[in-house]
Amino acid sequence: MDIDLRPEKKLRESAAARSALGPIIEAVCAAPADLSQLRLVCDWIQYRKNFRDVVVGRPVADTGTEIAVDLRRCGDIEAGDLAGVLASAVKRALSGGDGGRALEPWVAGRESCIWRFNALYWQALSAWENATGREYEQSLPGGESDARNIEAVHELILELFRLWDDLDARHALPEELYVLELGVGNGNQARTWLDEFVRLDQRHGRDYYRRLRYLMGDYSSHVLDRAHKTVVHHGDHVSALVVEATRPGMTLGFLTGKAFLVYISNVYDNLPTDEIACIRGRMYQVQTQAFVPDGDIETLTATYGVDPDTLMSLIGRLLRIGPELLSESAPSHFPDTGRAVAFWRGVWDAVRLRERYVPLEGLDSYQVSQSLTGETLTGEILRPLLEAEGDVRVHVSNGAISSFTGTLPLLHPFGRVQCHDLFLTSPRQYRSGFYGPGKYDGSVVNWVNGPLLQLVANRRGFAVSFTPFRQRPGSNVTTLIAQARD
Ligand SMILES: C[S@@+](CC[C@H](N)C(=O)[O-])C[C@H]1O[C@@H](n2cnc3c(N)ncnc32)[C@H](O)[C@@H]1O
């Protein structure tokens, strides 16, 4: 049996997690299974809401089963109950018996319907926030977006001024000065940036504000409207555009070679991703299937007075048309939007992902992303990261890679991408932590494979650096800066 204990730091810190290890091993050894075909993986899932039960089983094609345990929640189980709870959970995991009702067939992670839930959250954000009384920012690391940190914004704008002064001195500064923000949320990031820009521009005295064109791009027109209102005092300097962040070139082609800054915060961790694993030297794709467990089916059917089939069809309808229209189309179940949002929240809380490992015939047959011109990036790009780490499971960050590679051509030769987000900065980290997926309120979060972005950018002639977000020490947020190499 292989045993993979990932949460190194948390094991040091948590006596409860350490003392769960003995009962976990006991429960696995007592299970009716060939131990030589078992893998035991222990994680520490930092997201209070997530897609896993405390113990789950994952079939590894042809070779056995992986038992995956969340040590954090094992540590929460009363010591006297631990052995019994784990024994029955392991037995259930091995019998493939998590039951429930599937919301989709088996698919690659990026294809899962959890991303439709995620998009719905941004399309109907106000309805969700009204129901919870919480703004989405409160779920972000630190409780608010780091893009609102004045000191960091100040530094960034002064660097832009230095570049523009320099280009101007060489008569090479274009008349229009473009800045693009992707994933605008409530517009607070834009307001902080633009208000500070005006203040610093007045002090600097070069009248750059007159020439500034700040473009806000997001796939949710609801969010865009809201963000636009937040910066309405900046008038014509701001435009709001519907942009799919994973394909920025589709709507922003006109910006090619012109953007001095592409400014992104807390978006890459919200884009669809696959996972690839190396197990005993063989490559696998992690396939997922979203489902609603039996217990939640019972609760939801009782609460809404429907049978399980009707419940599944209402979930499908919710994902297609959103809570407002769902209430209009099924008023007997949902007399108002609030009731439909309560349904949505109940379903989202219940959604779990089961997983299985399916062999990958070769990394070159796996498509990481495809550009607008049809150029394919294959899994070969992952090889150095996977080969360096032995048995490991990594995010491919497909959405972030597509977004990033689609954004680089928009940059002015001296422009930069600046991005505050949850990045892994070394492939080694995948061996010692859990990096998603987790649930933030109604959205999905996965840390982003930074070394992979770095490799991809290097191939395109860009240098990528990562620095801890200096203005909030101890934060998990890291700043990526990408610029053309000299
Ligand atoms: C967590 S919010 C971040 C907002 C803001 N940047 C901040 O730091 O507060 C993520 C934003 O990305 C947008 N977003 C997520 N996926 C997107 C996609 N595929 N295309 C465009 N926008 C997307 C959401 O609508 C939302 O506005």
Number of folded domains that form the chain: 2
Which ligand 1 atom is at minimum distance from the Cα of 181?
Answer: 6
Amino acid identity for residue 381 in this structure:
I
Higher pLDDT among residues 182 and 95, named by residue: 182
CB of 223 within 6 A of ligand 1: the answer is: yes
Question: Would you say 41 and 74 are in contact if contact means Cβ atoms under 8 Å apart?
Answer: no
Q: Are residues 71 and 114 located together in one domain of the fold?
A: no
pLDDT tens digits for 35-70? Answer: 999 999 999 999 989 999 999 999 999 889 999 999
Vertex 341 angle, CA 116 and 244, to 5°: 30
Alpha-carbon gap, residue 362 to 356, rounded angstroms: 18
Looking at 205-214, 340-349, 426-435, which range is the least confident one? 426-435
Pocket of ligand 1 contains residue 122 by CB under 6 Å: yes
Q: What is the pLDDT of residues 321-342, one digit of tens each?
A: 999 999 999 999 999 999 999 9
Same domain, 419 and 341: yes
Residues 20 and 129 in one domain: no
Amino acid at 260: F
**How far from chain centre, in Å, is Cα 139?**
13
CATH for 397? 3.40.50.150
CA of 267 to the centre of ligand 1 (A): 5
The closest-lying atom of ligand 1 relative to the alpha carbon of residue 183 is 12
Same domain, 69 and 208: no
- Best of 125, 220, 404, 445 for a ligand 1 pocket test (most atoms within 8 Å of beta carbon): 220
Judge if 358 and 291 occupy the same domain: yes
Residue 96, by phi and psi: left (phi above 0), alpha (psi -120 to 50) or beta?
left
Whether the pLDDT of residue 270 is over 90: the answer is yes
- In degrees rounded to 5, what are phi and psi of residue 374? 90, 5
Q: Decide: 406 and 372 in contact? Cβ < 8 Å.
A: yes
pLDDT at 8: 86
139 lines ligand 1 (CB under 6 A): no
For range 401-422, the mean pLDDT:
97
Q: pLDDT at position 125, please?
A: 96
Residues with Cβ < 8 Å from 51, sequence gap 6 or more? 114, 290, 351, 352, 353, 437, 438, 439
Same domain, 360 and 223: yes
What is the Å distance from ligand 1's center to 223 Cα? 9
Range of the domain at 308: 103-486
pTM metric for this prediction: 0.96
- Pair (59, 200) in one structural domain: no
Give yes or no for residue 139 having a pLDDT over 90: no
Q: What is the average pLDDT across 205-225? A: 97
Tell me how far apart the alpha carbons of residues 62 and 359 are, in angstroms, rounded to a whole number: 9
Atom of ligand 1 nearest to the CA of 219: 21
Q: What are phi and psi of 345, to 5 degrees?
A: -65, -40
Per-residue tokens: 325:
């229209």
Residue 219 reports pLDDT greater than 80: yes
Query: Of 98, 131, 148, which residue sits at a domain end?
Result: 98
> Same domain, yes or no, for 395 and 287?
yes
Domain boundary among 74, 98, 122: 98
- The reply to whether 340 and 409 lie within a common domain is yes
Q: What is the distance in A from the centroid of ligand 1 to the CA of 78?
A: 40
- pLDDT of res. 340: 98
In this structure, are 62 and 203 located in the same domain? no
